[in-house]
Amino acid sequence: MFRCGIAYPRCRWILPLLLLFAIIFDIIAIAAKSGWVEDDDAKTHYASMWTQCRGRNDNWDCKSLMEFSWAQAVAALMIIGLILLIIAFIISCVALCCTLNISILPGIGGLLFLVVVIQFIALIIYPVKFNDQIFEGHYNYTWAYGFAWGATILTIGCGILFCCLPRYEDELTGLAKTKYIYTSN
């Protein structure tokens, strides 16, 4: 009466969708103006990937972080990671949604692991250098920085799945018999 099994053909649509979410998270993190960090005490200082602002209420004095080489490196790494993620998304849509091309999947997984390494480096450089050069008290990392980590974690998961999927070619194409995890008579 009730059967529960893994429907591998759904992976053909879910994986590109997860990559799309990772792209959206990256865009949110890169474009966020409200900051990646903000001071905890008086809310008088915050910094995004691009600028840092000091002030209160409507009187803010904002300066670009792009004068620092570490901030330029973080911006470049995050943008390069986003571009590679978009390329991986397009290739995954072609490989999984248009036609089923199993041989491309490990290459997509490798590209996603490259994105993870690039974004991981950027997300480590930012707090280390911020604390080293701009730190003036206790700061909290905000939702925008969290979205950048969320995109990186999603990319790790998708990379693992893209590397594992070629082992399940028959299941993806629908040629294999469904293996039920639970059956109830």
Please check whether residue 129 lies inside any domain of the structure.
yes
**Which of these ranges, 8-17, 82-91, 106-115, has the smallest mean pLDDT?**
8-17
The residues near 165 (Cβ < 8 Å, ≥ 6 apart) are 11, 15, 102, 105, 172
Higher pLDDT, 84 or 50: 84
Instruction: Give me the pLDDT at residue 1, please.
Output: 36
Q: What CATH number did the domain enclosing 12 receive?
A: 1.20.140.150
- Give the mean pLDDT of 88-95: 92
CA distance 32 to 37: 11
Please check whether residue 53 lies inside any domain of the structure.
yes
Please check whether residue 179 lies inside any domain of the structure.
no
* Residue 159 binned pLDDT confidence (cut-offs 50, 70, 90): very high
Q: How far apart are the first and last CA of the chain?
A: 6
Q: Which of 93-97, 103-107, 131-135, 163-167 is modeled with the greatest confidence? A: 103-107
Please check whether residue 2 lies inside any domain of the structure.
no
The answer to whether the CB of 93 falls within 8 A of the CB of 16 is yes
Please check whether residue 3 lies inside any domain of the structure.
no
The residues near 89 (Cβ < 8 Å, ≥ 6 apart) are 16, 19, 20, 23
Please check whether residue 141 lies inside any domain of the structure.
yes
Please check whether residue 184 lies inside any domain of the structure.
no
Domain of 73, in residue numbers: 8-173
Mean pLDDT of the chain: 84
Phi-psi region of 102 (alpha: psi -120 to 50; beta: other; left: phi over 0): alpha
Tally of structural domains, the chain: 1
